[in-house]
């Protein structure tokens, strides 16, 4: 009886460990952090999402970007309108919000998520333009 219980617990722990590792692995496979030059090249004619507040967005954003405020209660509902099988390019001010948003998008099932390294601040520091 004790041996069966120990074996059952061991199997349960192993299965849970594999499940957690699989999720982490698939999430990390879906998210790629890109430097501004690579982000600019790859995002041409793709879905670019600026997750800053509308006020931040109005101060300047990447041309063609749509604004979906990360702090809105319906943030994931708005992201969900996009095709999960198509690449999505996400950025914020400095990269902090983008990391969390990318993880949410990966958990939701997006397969290809590109995160702008350093956010729009690093984008501009590298000589890239923004539009108002």
Catalytic residue annotation = 92
Measuring CA to CA, how many Å separate 99 from each of 2, 102, 124?
A: 45, 5, 19
H, E, C per residue of 12-64:
HHHHHHHHHHHHHHHHHHHEEEECHHHHHHHHCCCEEEECCCHHHHHCCECCC
> For residue 122, which of 7, 34, 51, 11 has the smallest C-alpha distance?
34
Its sign, for the CA torsion 49, 102, 130, 53, is: positive
């Amino acid at each position: 009886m004790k041996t069966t219980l120990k074996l059952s617990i061991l199997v349960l722990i192993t299965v849970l460990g594999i499940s957690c590792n699989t999720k982490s692995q698939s999430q990390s496979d879906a998210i790629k952090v890109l430097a501004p030059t690579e982000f600019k090249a790859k995002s041409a004619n793709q879905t670019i999402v600026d997750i800053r507040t509308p006020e931040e967005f109005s101060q300047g954003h990447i041309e063609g970007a749509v604004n979906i405020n990360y702090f809105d209660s319906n943030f994931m509902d708005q992201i969900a309108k996009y095709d999960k099988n198509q690449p999505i390019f996400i950025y914020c001010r400095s990269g902090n919000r983008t990391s969390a948003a990318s993880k949410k998008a990966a958990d939701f099932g997006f397969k290809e998520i590109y995160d702008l390294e350093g956010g729009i601040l690093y984008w501009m520091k590298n000589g890239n333009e923004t539009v108002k």
